[in-house]
Amino acid sequence: MNLAVSVVCPICSAPLSRSGRSYTCLERHNFDLSREGYLSLLHGRNNYQEIGDDKLMVQARVRVHKLSAFADLAAAIRGYCPPMTAGCAILDIGCGDGFFLDQVTNAAKAACLGVGVDVSKGALAKAAKSHPSLLFIRTDAAHSRLPFGDSAFGMVMSVFAPRPIGEIGRVLRDDGSWLIVTATQDHLKEIRQFLPLAAIGTGKLDTPTSGFFSVQRSGVWVSELEVARPDLVSLVEMSPSVYRLRRDFGDKWIDRLPESLRVTFSFSITRLVKENR
């Protein structure tokens, strides 16, 4: 793995350099690659905590990404990406299993380095094993400084994932783009007739410009697909709603789903650029 992006120490912010399976800074803070190949920059007590998506959610997400609607969504997201220059780095915040990062990085006409960050060990283990040409890092993107130098990235993506606007502004080049993908309130509306899924908060639909970013392009992508019961189950199991369903109905929640259902997939895709660039 060739580090074409500046990764910095989460303790002292000095650049990290790699030797074998270790990354070390001048202050001798040391971080090792996991068995699966991702770099954990969580340290102290945080390193041992199970946070973010759990293993069952990750497995469900991997199954869902095999549905044709998600290949089509990835193609739609690629249509929103700006042209990339060779050597450009792309950051995916809350990258999960790395599906969208892989789809975007490998479709770029110029050779780019894809970097995914997530806080979930299960997601990163799957991502690193499935996409060895990409770099995956464990960090808490919502509560700590992103472990990268200023202006390290030409594009940042937040796909159903955290949007730490200040840090994104710092690590994104002035001419870079930020892609946000969120579900709209129509998403999976047919499944909601059978199960009390958590509502999609309207706050998630707001575009967080905060005076730093402006919207360059925005649209809603909608698709319908006939989905068989095992995939309906996976669509529910990859969301936190499954915890409440299990608590309220045990495993019986699955019986509420029909054998097959025509389902709406509806997502908003927005490309932002920096103000005053």
Ligand X SMILES: C[S@@+](CC[C@H](N)C(=O)[O-])C[C@H]1O[C@@H](n2cnc3c(N)ncnc32)[C@H](O)[C@@H]1O
Closest separation in Å from C-beta 221 to ligand X: 14
Among 18, 129, 160, 249, binds ligand X (CB under 6 A): 160
Give whichever of 202 and 276 is closer to ligand X, judged by the CB atom: 202
Among positions 79-108, residues that touch ligand X (CB under 6 A) are 94-96, 99-100
Least distance to ligand X from the beta carbon of 277, Å? 26
Identify the residue whose tokens are 């606007």.
165
The SS3 of residue 40 is strand
Taking contact as CB under 6 A, which single stretch among the options 41-49, 113-121, 243-251, 261-269 is the one that binds ligand X?
113-121
Q: How far apart are CA 116 and CA 95, in angstroms?
A: 5
| Minimum separation from the CB atom of position 243 to ligand X (A) | 14
Considering only residues 14 through 53, tell me which ones interact with ligand X, judged by CB under 6 A.
52-53
Measured on CA atoms in the order 245, 250, 255, 256, is the torsion positive or negative? Answer: negative
C-alpha distances in Å from residue 216, one per residue of 109, 177, 192: 21, 9, 33
Site for ligand X in 189-248 (CB under 6 A): none
Provide the minimum distance between the beta carbon of 144 and ligand X in the complex, in angstroms, as a whole number: 8
Two structure tokens written together for 39: 């770099």
Of how many residues is the chain composed? Answer: 277
**Which residue in the block uniquely carries the two structure tokens 């992508």?**
221
Please answer whether residues 96 and 123 qualify as being in contact, where contact means their C-beta atoms are separated by less than 8 angstroms. yes
The residue type at 152? A
Per-residue binder mask for ligand X (CB under 6 A), 58-77, x = binder: ---x----------------
Q: Is 161 a binder of ligand X (CB under 6 A)?
A: yes
What are 47's two structure tokens? 């390193």
**Least distance CB 52 / ligand X (angstroms):** 3
Least spacing, CB of residue 26 vs ligand X, in Å: 27
**What number of CA atoms fall less than 13 Å from residue 163's CA on the CB side?**
20
| Interaction of residue 126 with ligand X, rule CB under 6 A | no
Query: What backbone phi and psi angles, to 5 degrees, belong to 114?
Result: -100, 130
- Identified binder of ligand X from the candidate list 18, 162, 184, 185, rule CB under 6 A: 162
Footprint of ligand X (CB under 6 A): 52-53, 61, 94-96, 99-100, 117-120, 123, 140-142, 159-162
